[in-house]
Amino acid sequence: MKDLLGLKDLSAVQLGLILARAFSYKKQFGSLGRIKKVLADRHILTLFYEPSTRTLTSFNVAAGRLGARVNNISVSGSSIQKGETLIDTIRNLEVLGFSAVIIRHTHGGAPRLAADNTKMAVINAGDGFNEHPTQALLDIMTMQQYKGSLKKKKIVIVGDIAHSRVARSNIWGLLKLGASVTVSGPATLIPKGIEDFGVRVEHDLDRALSDADFVNVLRMQHERQADQNFIPSKREYHRLFGINEKRLARAKPRLLVLHPGPLNRSVEISSGIADGGQNVILEQVVNGIAVRMAVLTLLIGRAKNA
């Protein structure tokens, strides 16, 4: 495989391979100096057309732990020309000697366009509403860390499903691993026909959570909502779809809460839950490094000694 563009394209076996390698890297986090610098001769570029905190930093940390050199380019949204410009950029990067380019882009499909036009490995770090594969991999890794195999486990994804690439990648990955996925949120933010993907839709969040093992809480993607009013107010949203102490008291006691970040406290999640013992949000961030180390070495490492 040359690229990682989305989880839709991967088989359960390929997912398992990435996750196994991620778990094995994580075991080495106690002695970072001993991690083999298998990417020491590699030069990686991050090309971000949208803001990022965790994903960008996490890729940098992952690459650094493997000895790779990283350059970061961030492009302001307004200057983007689609199509040729991206291809031209990619062609220039290729002759500059990069092995891999990690792309975050406003438009779904941009990483694929890049991948189709270069020999470099392309990793999708989030494209429009489409996919965010390393985020879903780290979510899945975190779920497996706490509860083992995800076969028949019940996962609720709640929030702005319509504008979320995290939701899409989670759905593809989780279904391939045999989990059962329910999406919940206001009708205005659940795409029509999403059941065809193989998920259940439950607008009553309390009902959705009643037998759930995990809830993955999404942020309202205001920047992608083109100024439309999908919800009457943030307060109303929190009352119906927010994850808070009152709501979790009615769910399974061992339900775990995930969130890809950034958190909007008091909107989709209360501070009590965000700072409490039932969430695994910071563990997700740690696992993100391991997942990205696994992906980088699988794509551009020398297979045997990675």
Interface ranges with ligand NCD (CB under 6 A): 54-55, 126, 132, 135, 165-166, 219, 260-261
Minimum Å gap between C-beta 166 and ligand NCD is 5
- Of 130 and 180, the one with the shorter C-beta distance to ligand NCD is 130
- Of 55 and 60, the one with the shorter C-beta distance to ligand NCD is 55
Minimum Å gap between C-beta 56 and ligand NCD is 9
- Of 55 and 89, the one with the shorter C-beta distance to ligand NCD is 55
Minimum Å gap between C-beta 54 and ligand NCD is 5
- Of 288 and 301, the one with the shorter C-beta distance to ligand NCD is 288
CB contact at 8 A, 103 and 124:
yes
- Of 110 and 166, the one with the shorter C-beta distance to ligand NCD is 166
Minimum Å gap between C-beta 285 and ligand NCD is 9
- Of 26 and 219, the one with the shorter C-beta distance to ligand NCD is 219
Q: Closest Cα to residue 133, out of 123, 122, 142, 141?
A: 123
- Of 65 and 132, the one with the shorter C-beta distance to ligand NCD is 132
Q: Is 129 left (phi over 0), alpha (psi -120 to 50) or beta?
A: alpha
Minimum Å gap between C-beta 161 and ligand NCD is 12
Q: What is the radius of gyration, based on Cα positions, of the chain?
A: 19
Minimum Å gap between C-beta 65 and ligand NCD is 19
Minimum Å gap between C-beta 261 and ligand NCD is 5
